[in-house]
């Protein structure tokens, strides 16, 4: 049971837009802590996709965007491409248990 | 761009210990911290703990306290993660990742080290 809740899977056709939600609570996202997103391609380590809610590292296409509102955050991917097929994870900080980094359970994106 | 290079795969018996290394390139090791994250086969990401590259301060997830130790060797820009009393459910990929401090993002990540616990 992950502290942050993500849908297990989403899918979309090439060129479409998809969103992935990340729902937290008053001890993490709702407390004002930033949300970060990672992409994990099959067989690879995760890579940073969005940091501090809505910032893209250099090299990440602007098709990827992040937002945060209240105790939730979202990752949006526009102009879906086959290479976007991957697992996506959100991450934040939680004040419980002496404070710890927490992840969502992950969302598998399938490009159909 | 700094890179993190981890040690190779390990196979351990239940009850044993494993020590995984994570060597950072570049000269910014003392400016950042290193977090360790693990991923069981087919499962999600689980944060294990953090160590400061500046002063070696640590913060472990409550779940691992008592059998997890993180250390650094600043002379070689290397971080280490030792997990003791291994069980079969410790079988996972173990990743190190650079972070500016607690509550910050992880970037970059090491390539991962597969630790298999089996009798």
Tokens of A11: 């899918």
Q: State the Cα–Cα distance between residues A61 and A66, nearest whole angstrom.
A: 12
Tokens of A103: 């992840």
Q: State the Cα–Cα distance between residues B116 and B119, nearest whole angstrom.
A: 10
Using the beta-carbon criterion (under 8 Å), do A38 and B35 form an inter-chain contact? no
Tokens of A78: 């526009």
Q: State the Cα–Cα distance between residues A26 and A5, nearest whole angstrom.
A: 13
Residue A4, strand partner residues: A104
Q: Indicate the length of chain A as a whole number.
A: 112
Q: Is A52 near chain B, with CB under 8 Å? A: yes
Q: Is A100 near chain B, with CB under 8 Å? A: yes
d(CA B118, nearest CA chain A) in Å: 22
pLDDT at A97: 81
Contacts of A99 in chain B (CB under 8 A): 59, 102
Binned at pLDDT 50, 70 and 90, residue A14 comes out as: very high
Q: State the Cα–Cα distance between residues A73 and B104, nearest whole angstrom.
A: 16
> pLDDT tens, B2-59?
899 999 999 999 999 999 999 999 888 989 999 999 999 999 999 999 999 999 999 9
- Identify which of B44, B50, B109 has the shortest CB distance to residue A47: B109
Low-confidence winner among A3-7, A53-57, B93-97, B99-103 (lowest mean pLDDT) = B99-103
Residue B6, strand partner residues: B22
> pLDDT tens, A36-59?
999 999 999 999 999 999 999 999
* SS3 assignment, position A84: helix
- Identify which of B46, B47, B110 has the shortest CB distance to residue A45: B110
CB–CB of A32/A85 below 8 Å?
Answer: no
Rg, C-alpha atoms of chain B: 13
């Amino acid at each position: 049971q992950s502290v942050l809740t993500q849908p297990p899977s989403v899918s979309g056709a090439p060129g479409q837009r998809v969103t992935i939600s990340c729902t937290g609570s008053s001890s993490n996202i709702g407390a004002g802590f930033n949300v970060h997103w990672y992409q994990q391609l099959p067989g690879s380590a995760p890579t940073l996709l969005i940091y501090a809610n809505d910032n893209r590292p250099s090299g990440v296409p602007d098709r990827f965007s992040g937002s945060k509102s209240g105790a939730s955050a979202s990752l949006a991917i526009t102009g879906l491409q086959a290479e976007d097929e991957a697992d996506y994870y959100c991450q934040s900080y939680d004040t419980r248990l002496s404070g710890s980094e927490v992840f969502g359970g992950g969302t598998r994106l399938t490009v159909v | 761009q700094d890179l993190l290079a981890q040690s190779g795969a390990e196979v351990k018996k239940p009850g044993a210990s494993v020590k995984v290394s994570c060597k950072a390139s570049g000269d910014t090791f003392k400016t950042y911290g290193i977090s360790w994250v693990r991923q069981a086969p087919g499962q999600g990401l689980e944060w294990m703990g953090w160590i400061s590259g500046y002063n070696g301060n640590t913060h472990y997830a409550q779940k691992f306290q008592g059998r997890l130790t993180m250390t650094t060797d600043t002379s070689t820009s290397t971080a280490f993660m030792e997990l003791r009393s291994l069980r079969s459910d410790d079988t996972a990929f173990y990743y190190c990742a650079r972070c500016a401090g607690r509550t910050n993002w992880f970037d970059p990540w090491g390539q991962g080290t597969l630790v298999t616990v089996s009798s």
